[in-house]
Amino acid sequence: MGSYERPAALGAALEALEAGARSGRPPVIVAGATDHYPTRVGRVVDEDVLDVSGLVGMRGLHPIAGGWWIPSAVTWTELVEARLPAAFDGLKRAARAVGGLQIQNRGTVVGNVCNASPAADGMPNLLALDAIVELASVRGTRRLPIGEFVTGNRTTLREPDELVTGVFVPDAGESATSTFVKLGSRAYLVISIAMVAAVVARDRAGRITSARVAVGACSPVAQRLPDLEAALGGRPLRPGLGELVRDEHLASLSPIDDVRASAEYRRRAALVLVRRTLEELAAGAAEAG
Ligand SMILES: Cc1cc2nc3c(=O)[nH]c(=O)nc-3n(C[C@H](O)[C@H](O)[C@H](O)COP(=O)(O)OP(=O)(O)OC[C@H]3O[C@@H](n4cnc5c(N)ncnc54)[C@H](O)[C@@H]3O)c2cc1C
């Protein structure tokens, strides 16, 4: 049986990580443990566990210079309940789709990112929000764009002595709206077959000034669609916008066949979901006037 530590001070957590990394046996970090435990059911586990859920100062999503700070212990429920600009509506919708309420009460946004599942519902939204991950160790802190931090299926650039302290989301501007569309085999408590998040800003004339669109569960890491984003620039944000989306815009995706869906189904679903996402944002803009 390994050791279990739940420090209150960040410094103590970083020292525990450094000592573990130096000895060649870094502790496994857990926050809500909702990804951690299901992968260990029925296994003899002797790893050392560093529980970061008790770290002081790691709760409470709040504004900071130039944007918003999501500290490492912020749960999906806290995110849903926070007063946030419309650019976060997509991430909030994803939060409501992560498991059931019990999972949302324990599971963290940062845990979702660090677990690096291709089907992590937070990832497309955080990519579309241009989020930045902050890592700390006794050596100092560093920041990485989220798209660089997650490198593949269950792999990230985190070093064994590093802890993710939170995620910074730059201000997307007052006009920015967002949404998230998820496809699963049923409406709730389901792992995504494909999902799409978009954050779109517009000028006073209703023309798109910036569009960020990301697809999840159709490649090892959720992906932005830069060609589509470029094609959307300058277009009026109004119904019919989805017709602009072509197969070529999704060419960089590499969906797989698995128990949930075939690669071909995922590719077609992603196209439909991207169109729906844009139509939803256009309908919202039309309603707002
Ligand atoms: C029944 C059920 C349903 C689920 N449904 C969904 C769903 O619909 N969509 C979805 O996306 N996910 C789902 N999940 C997965 C999970 O709940 C989420 O990914 C959740 O956000 C994970 O957060 P956590 O705090 O529990 O992570 P943990 O399990 O504590 O950690 C996850 C990983 O991140 C690492 N980690 C955590 N915090 C840090 C940190 N601060 N620094 C460095 N590494 C860290 C851990 O070492 C671990 O590798 C579900 C899980 C269950 C059990």
**pLDDT tens-digit map of 15-47:** 999 999 999 999 999 999 999 999 999 888 899
pTM of the model: 0.97
- Nearest residue to 135 (alpha-carbon basis) of 17, 225, 1: 17
pLDDT digit string, tens, across residues 131-182: 999 999 999 999 999 999 999 999 999 999 999 999 999 999 999 999 999 9
What pLDDT was estimated at residue 288? 82
pLDDT given at position 191: 86
**Residue 257: per-residue pLDDT:** 86
Q: What's the gap in Å between 75 CA and the centre of ligand 1? A: 10
Nearest CA to ligand 1 atom 9: 98
Task: Tell me if 125 CB under 6 Å of ligand 1.
Answer: no
CB of 120 sitting under 6 A from ligand 1: yes
Closest CA to 145 of 154, 161, 156, 160: 156
> Which tokens in the block code for residue 216?
């999840």
Q: How far apart are CA 13 and CA 74, in angstroms?
A: 17
Distance from the alpha carbon of residue 284 to the mean position of ligand 1, in angstroms: 31
Does residue 72 line the site of ligand 1, with CB under 6 A? yes
Mean pLDDT, the chain, integer:
96
In the predicted model, is pLDDT for residue 125 greater than 80?
yes
Q: For residue 186, what pLDDT is reported?
A: 82
Shortest-distance atom of ligand 1 to CA 119: 11
Rounded to the nearest angstrom, the distance between the alpha carbon of 108 and the centre of ligand 1 is 6
What pLDDT does 9 receive? 98
CB atoms within 10 A of CB 110: 27
Kindly tell me if the per-residue pLDDT of 289 is higher than 80.
Answer: no
CA of 202 from ligand 1 middle (Å) equals 34
Q: Whose CA is nearest to atom 21 of ligand 1?
A: 112
pLDDT in tens, 57-113: 999 999 999 999 999 999 999 999 999 999 999 999 999 999 999 999 999 999 999
Residue type, 101: L
Average pLDDT over residues 190-197: 92
Q: CB–CB of 168/110 below 8 Å?
A: no
- Report CA(4)–ligand 1 centroid distance (Å): 18
Pick from 17, 28, 34 the residue to mutate for probing ligand 1's pocket: most ligand atoms within 8 Å of its CB.
34
When pLDDT is cut at 50, 70 and 90, the band that residue 280 belongs to is very high
**DSSP-derived pairing of the beta strands 49-51 and 28-30:** parallel
Query: Ligand 1 test: best mutation among 5, 29, 35, most atoms within 8 Å of CB?
Result: 35
**Could you read off the pLDDT of 224-264 as tens digits, one per residue?**
999 999 999 999 999 999 999 999 999 999 998 888 899 99
For the cut 80, the answer to whether the pLDDT of residue 1 exceeds it is no
Distance (Å) of CA 184 to CA 93, 173, 181, 281: 14, 31, 10, 21
On the question of pLDDT at 189 being above 90, the answer is: no
Ligand 1 pocket, residue 164 CB under 6 Å: yes
| Nearest-angstrom CA–CA distance, 79 and 74 | 7
What's the 121 CA to ligand 1 centre distance in angstroms? 10
Closest ligand 1 atom to Cα of 191: 8
The confidence score (pLDDT) of residue 115 equals 98
Q: Which atom of ligand 1 is nearest to the CA of 123?
A: 11
Please state, in angstroms and as integers, the Cα–Cα distance from residue 243 to each residue in 176, 201, 232, 271, following that order. 21, 19, 11, 10
